[in-house]
Structure 1
Amino acid sequence: MAVMVTGGAGYIGSHTCVELLEAGYDVVVVDNFDNSHPDVLRRVEEITGRTLFREAGDVRDRTFLEQVLKRHKCDAVMHFAGLKSVAESTEKPLHYYDCNVVGTIRLLEAMRSVDVKKIVFSSSATVYGEPEQLPFNEDHRLAPANTYGRSKLVVEDILRDIHRGNKNWHIAILRYFNPVGAHESGLIGEDPKGIPNNLMPLIAQVASGKREKLMIWGSDYPTRDGTGVRDYIHVEDVAKGHVRALKKLAEPQCLTLNLGSGQGYSVFEVIRAFETVTGQIIPYEIAERRAGDIAEYYADPTQANEILNWTAQKTLSEMCQDMWNWQSKNVV
């Protein structure tokens, strides 16, 4: 089976390409490399010992996508391409809706035109918004608090509408929580341009000396140590979840599933775990809470466990170790 992976040179996309290749799939990566590096794909091939196909282009170019799907006789699509900064989405909402929503519409139009009706979509736990209860299950109210989350929810709604209109579509919507870590080889990992949006890359940059200290935004939350609690999940576990979802789509359906560990860790707990694993001291400064930040956020992964036979396997210590291995070898 040939799978087109949009955004396949990105953080989660590249790790999923590894899992797909190792599972025996043919992989066709579509990426415009705006926020990724072409060399990542060479590293994916080095890890797997297999060759993938590269197609440089934009997901908003329907004609280009149709040509790629036909040329490689693709059977399915994994859709990672898009923008993902919450802060930037607030500053540039039109840009986010154009890339994330319009780009997906163009992709779906291209798929329909060449009769490819199988897609795994990279969504996000941000579609939930402020928790009414914890942990989040898939039936929780959907009320995203920022443009990024709303762009993901719009795409989810489009996919659900497509399936309601045509039951022959095979659709999996995966809402994941906080992917961290890197491939255990240290060859691929998260290398964000500019200031990282997530805690673990910031900690790693402080540990490596690239950043003087970590800013902790709020220590007075109603949590066990006053800092925010999040569900961290190893990126390799997330990637494996995508492959499990693709296999589950043998029959037409529309699945919506959380990918999370089900365990929340505070900022201080992540810092201590990173210090224990690496032997590095992480200097930090406490600052005021940021507007819109939520005290606790973690998943109920029961449905993914039951439907996909998938559970997150890697521990917080392994997440920290793999992140540090990647940071030490690659990021300066």
Structure 2
Amino acid sequence: MKHVSILTPIGHTSLTNIEGTHQIFSEVNKLLMSMGKPPLFSIQLVGISKKIKQQNGLFSVTPDALIQDIKKTDLIVIPAIHGEHSNTLAQNRKFIPWIVQHYKNGAEVASFCIGAFLLASTGLLKGKQCATHWRMASEFRSIFPDVNLVDDKIMTEEDGIYTSGGAYSYLNLILYLIEKFAGRDVAIIIAKAFMIDIDRHSQSPFIIFQGQKEHEDEPVKKAQEFIEANFQDRISVDQLADMLALGRRNLERRFKKATANTVVEYIQRVKVEVAKKSFETNRKNINEVMYDVGYTDNKAFRTTFKKITGLSPIEYRNKYNKEGLVMA
């Protein structure tokens, strides 16, 4: 039987992550027993204090055990913890050596959404892939530059460490773990019981690109503002470099460092974001939207759009514009 430690951190924690994990793993046990098989998971809520208030005292969580009571565990689950990172880390610092110790003793570790900040603080993610909520990608990169953040993925797995993307994508990671530990047949039944879309791998369709301006490089900010104001035009790196009186290589290096995108990637993402909003709100056809955002090559537009969103323009329009006419 696998021992699962669901952490109950101090502060504003996702109760959905905590209760949802407990409920779904418990349902796996019930399902297995109904099939004449032994339960798979021994599940405990694990904390650093006996009663933990959540969401400004609106809720409280009572752990089954404290970290010092757990001698051996097989899977540690870290829920999303909201609030300013340095404060949440200070409140929950005691978890860090405990997580590291149990990982070294063979436990696997899974973080949900922005629980990745606590996981990354252990140092266990250094040099590894990690997913988190797309809204927190820029802040995460600035704090943990040695972690390979892949903000388009719903989940990652590397060396017994799992991470999930934003919000309810934690359900997809839970299904993945169930399939790994209990088999595909059990995972499918659980997916149907909880109506979870199995085998989703990307959170790209849900990303709202807002640019990354939380930096101090003023020429790069000017370049970003120019791109965003002139998305309907063809913009080149050389044009931006000349405008800012910078060398091309210097601009590209500084832009990548400040925004985590190349100049070309940023231009593409700005154009695609405008196209997405157009598909969501009006009845223009694909070619009209393509021309509006400065593309003249139909294939290039469709390829870029799908690379960024994970969906073709028509698929995106069908998904998010109920009233729109779908026209090629």
* TM-score, normalised relative to structure 1: 0.35
Greater RCO (CA < 8 Å, at least 6 residues apart): 1
- Higher fraction of strand: 1
Name whichever structure is richer in helix by fraction. 2
User: Which has the greater radius of gyration?
Assistant: 2
